Structure 1
Amino acid sequence: MIQSALVPLEVVHLDRVSAGIDLLEEVGVPTLLIVDLALGEEAKDLITLLAGNKFYTHIKVIVLCDTEEEGASYSEWIARPTSQENIEPLLGIYLAFQQYCLGDRTEHDGISYRALFSQLPLGIAVSRLVKRGNTSSHVIHQINSKLENMLGRTKQEIIRLGIEGCTNTKDWEQERLLLKQLEEQTVTHYSFDKRCLHGDGKEIWVQALVFSLTFPEDDDFHYISIIRDITEEKNLALKANEAVSQVLQGKLQGMGYRSHLDEELTVFYLTNGSYELTGYTADELTGGYGFDYNKMIEPSSYRKVIDRLHEQIRYGKHARLEYEIITKGGEHKWVFELGRITEDNPPILEGIILDVSHYKELERSRLYESDRIPLTGLLNRSALKRQMEEDKKSSEIQESALISINFTPLYETVTRLDHTHIENLLMEIGAILAQFKSESVGVYGPVDYSFAIYLSSYPSRSWLEALGTQIIGQVSNLLFSEHVGWGVGIIEIDWNEDPEINELLHQAIQTSGLASKTHSGRPSIRFYDRMISELIHRETSILRELSSIAASVEDDRLYLDFQPVVSVQTNTIAGFEALARLMSDEFDLVGPGEFIPIAEKYHLIVPIGYQILTKALRFQKRLEEKGCGDCWVSINLSALQLLEPGFANVVQSLMTKEGTNPEAVVFEHTETSASSSVTVVNSIFKTLQDLGSRIALDDFGVGYSSVARESELNVDYVKIDKLFSDHVLTQEPDRAVLGDVIRMIHKMGHIAIVEGVEAESQLDYLKRNGCVLYQGFLYSKPVSEEKALEMCT
């Protein structure tokens, strides 16, 4: 069992201590050595040799012994019999030791670690504490697939929610204190039982073993959590307590039994409670009448029950199992068997069998209620999956459909709206969607701001489209004033193709997410098809790379190009706009119009945004060193980044660290980004302006309430969208409205910058209408950092 736990590592088994000493002389990398005390005095001599000898500091020793008393003399030990529970700390010991010997690590150790991370049958999460100004947050930056399965969520969901979002609120308050102790090094590790929020809306119990981690040239507090699902153990403990209580109160029927330890665990003795439980007397079942108790076990599960009981008594010498029996009268009953191996010669299995049918009915009732989401009264994802699994097994149902209605952007609006308001919106949406329920149509959610409608059968594709249109019509009336993008995704399911249900749910949510991305901003309907499958793959791959970049200190895949902002009158460069680019390992160059929305959707935009900001500030410093200190750099901000607590303080710290002149920095934001509270946004702008920086309103003319918004916001520049400059090429100059827009902006005390200037005729128009600055391909496309520095000098 120990060897299987260490499968990802290179394991060498030696049955002689002398051979071990020879091997250790040749090994110079961090090594885990397990010494079996059963080898006698030689083993103890080996441990003595290694202890305190600086030549062997790269070797960690764990002792394998027969009793806890025997192991108490050593710092790390495992007592036989080995089990998953007592070998789990191996990982923590090995990782902690590798940290200590980090300077001696080799590439092989890294490979071993990655294999251990991916193959260990326990959930693993690597996290760090990110501090920005006076605020801090715990960010997960690496997990394994076992944790995804345990929490019923994708890697992206878990990273987006973070530790706090995945943990029960009360338990998080306790764990946060434990993490504080770990950060302050008052403890080296801790173990904590807590409740986590499963993807289907239910809570599960997990046990987390947490160690701190250190990395070279990184002062952040990192830690690793090794997580085990203990839900079944908690439920069994609760159930056992309830069963004992009910037996003592005489509320449970049951009987005592004894059985042989033969292949079929034949029952040879029963107490008088047999008749009440089974309809047979004890003599009828044990008197050799050709019918014994085990034949009453429900036929389809008979073999499984007997094999499971054998497995339990072989490893733990106890039997504890729930199963179904069929009584003499044909009644189905659930029983709970609790037994132990006796000291007799030969030993037998002895115990009690209790009638828990009533309890089972209560459990089903509780399960049904627990499947309901309190906010809306609708069923959760767990109930949806069960229904889909039933339909998949049914021979009568061939084709079904799954509709996802995705309101994820509501999550982003929590930063600017009262949380209660968001909950009220979700309740109202749930009430609207509940109207579509019928015998063959179920409505579920919300789970992570998505609702689902599942149809066991449906008439036609056009009928599904009509239903989607109806949903959009009713929900749009509610969300009209919220300015929140959302969409309807539909998957037609052919059960004959044996699709994976988790994959269907993922595809449905992704399809509805794509449906929300329309140029008009209005919700749309999209059916899942091959093209969407490719888009989902592309988004998932880009997200994986962004997650890697966000977790790193520096990554060359994320880089900046720079486009000049030019004086209309002198045709000289006034500044540069920093434009983010992603050089994907899989797709080569990916533009910001694609990867920035993905970063925003999965809440990676804040760490990504800070990397962009840092690179732009360094470029401005290089401009100054080249003698171009008058040239400013403009940096685009996401709404999530702008509204991040302490954002202005972090900006100031970065400027100080990079030696940047704040007066040579312009921060750009879009009208959509500024749709938050004007008071809040203006307060942030003023803090940045007090530093000496300036603010630009981007994409003027294509957002919400442009003129009203411009007059409300404290900005220095207004960038007029390319839509207006294009009109100069297609209309008579006297009919183009661009000149009026420029004059209006100047009257409001702002400076106009016209985007998308590609022709001399457009530049002449700007000169005649008093425009100050422009940007476009007429002067230059976006260029590399080095080329931008050449242009300036």
Structure 2
Amino acid sequence: MKQKHTCVYKNQAKRKSFRIALIYFILGCLWIIVSDMLSRFMFSDSLILFNILKGLTYVTVTALIIYQLICSAMKDFINTEMKLKENGMLYRTIFEQSPIGISIAHSSEPSSGEEDTYQDINPMFCKITGRTKEEIIRLGWAHITHPDDLQLDLDQFKKLQAGEISSYAIEKRYVKPDGSSVWVYLISASLNNEKYKHIGLVQDITERKIMERNLQESERSKAVLLSNLPGMAYRCNYDREWTMQFVSQGCFELTGYTAESLLYNKNLSFNDLILPEYRDILWCKWQEILEKGLPFQHEYEIITASGQKKWILELGQGIYDDNGTVIALEGIIIDISDRKENESKLQRISEIDSLTGLYNRRYLENILSATMITGVKKAILLLNLKKINSIRLLYGYNFSENLIKTLADTLSALCFDHIRLFQVSFERFVFYYEGYQNQEELKRFCSTIIETISKIQLLHIVGCGIGVLEMEQSGCDADCIIKHATIASELVEPNTMFGYQFFNADTDASVKRDSFIREALLNAAHHDINDYIFLHYQPILNLKTNTIQGFEALARFYDENIGDVSPNEFIPLAEETQLIVPIGKKIIGIAFSFMKELYTRGFENIHIYINVSAIQVLKEDFIDDIADMLSQYRINPHTVGFEITETVFAENYAVINEKLNELKNMGIKISIDDFGTGYSSLARESELNINCLKIDRYFINKIRFDKADKIIISDIISMAHKLGHQVVAEGVENEEQKQYLIEHHCDMMQGYLFSKPVDEASAIDLLQKTNLAAAIKQ
């Protein structure tokens, strides 16, 4: 470019010089001719002086003319030079700061640096290719072009060089020094100049290429998704017919109709496929969703071309224009018939008892909730089988389950359209009675139930209490109804094998009493426990030595507003509210204080047995708490015993049994309380980490009357001894019972025959008298 400007300037200078010389020559000739003619006519006498004046005048005039011409030429030169500099600076600025890459006369072959052709590369070109200007010129563009794109570029470049084309444009890749590629859009054009033969303009299009590739991948994925979608994709108008603008090919498998038959309602509209009961619901649902701008999701049924009903899940969204107007709906529709069928099966399974085939508590609660407010009188009659676990203990699990199935079949015979039977737990059945006239009708039905079940002889061992609740009098939810009916069944006369009890004002008072007890328990747990709970101690008599071997610590509860509260009342409530954990810990502390008192009086070998709940045992830090308390009170663990009921093994058997093993390893004695009424069986006793069994008073009471119960007791004692366990009989109240136990080698007994539970002072006094008297006899 600079050489071109220099050439132009030289031509202009030559033309200017020639013009000055020509003017000077013409003026000089004219002056000589004119001056000579004047000198002959006017100054013939003073010719020398005239010639001098003529010469000076000529020199002066010509100097002025030359000066003017030279000044004009210099001004033109300076202006031209300045324009050249400005143009050069503008060119470099554009070249250097251009947002696209520019290469001038860049060769495809490597450069030796001796070529005549001028080559230039701007900074953007260097940035795009990741190379320096010198490296680009040295290597040549063919070397840095991606091999897959090189041949096309070379072919076009050769045509450009040959003059076959004036320019070409291609998309190609340059290879950077790190091996990565950059996509560019290249425009190459020829220049009508010997040295500046061609120019290349390069624009980085890598991001666009990535977007195109992602779009292609997206389109491919979309095609794969649509072809494998278990349903169909759609785009439709927002109208009541759901006029389809687009439907994927999955339409045929889903509906039995081809996609073409639904497009623009050609043969039928999609609305025709929707079951009538869902059409208005679906329209209202879409209206609600679109107003809020939320995604749509709804399940409904369609009818296929074959007449089959299918459950579908529609997932969609509205498409809006710039004004926020809905112009279409888009989404997918998936066949969920299999899922719905499985849900239906699971629901049936969850609502039906697997043993008896009766509807369970969940189903009953749904019915109670749905029919809470009607004009029809309704009641539930809850059958609570007492001591069903006694049958399980005596005859095994399979036998007891068969008994429940037999009972379910027998009770089912009492059902009618207005009377339905449910099994709410293993030992509880419920009759749901609708449309009865009065309470007398319910009483007659209770009598019919009792008459029916009393024919099953084994149930005379179990017993059954019926709790009746008239729902219009309850004023509570389904769970509360079942709970109140259960409370009523528990209040049936204990000495009655079969009976019924209505939930009334008295039972309601019992519920309110529960509420007061809960509040008192809360205070006991978080304040001074001695204000509410104290311990009585019932001696455990060794039947071989006739001495007191230990005491069972029995918690007693008193509140100045409620009065005395039975353990059968407050212990279950404490467990239900989880307050048994802090209260139980305080009870253990009271028992340990009593043991310290025994130590100071010389009774270091007397055992104290403390009742603990499964909730306490399952507490993560229970073992650590016991170890800390033993250390704090300085108690010998070998004189401590924990009593647990069989029911603690109903759940979390392995965890509880392992914790009992840890307690045993510490030296603490473990006893199963009320054995024979709960979860365990003689067959499983060998698996339990225990030291002792305590036979429930239920069996002891029947020693005088029931031969079968005698056999059970003797078998329990014998089996326990074979397993290395001691046996304690609870509730011994007469000599006949005691003698029977001695004859069958029972180890220990406790009961009113020897002593009722007493306070600490009386327990110490009784201990001193009994053991001292035994020592004197020996």
* TM-score, normalised via structure 1 length: 0.45
Q: Which structure is richer in relative contact order (CA contacts within 8 A, separation 6 or more)? A: 1
The answer to which structure has the higher helix fraction is: 2
Which protein has the larger Cα radius of gyration, Structure 1 or Structure 2?
2
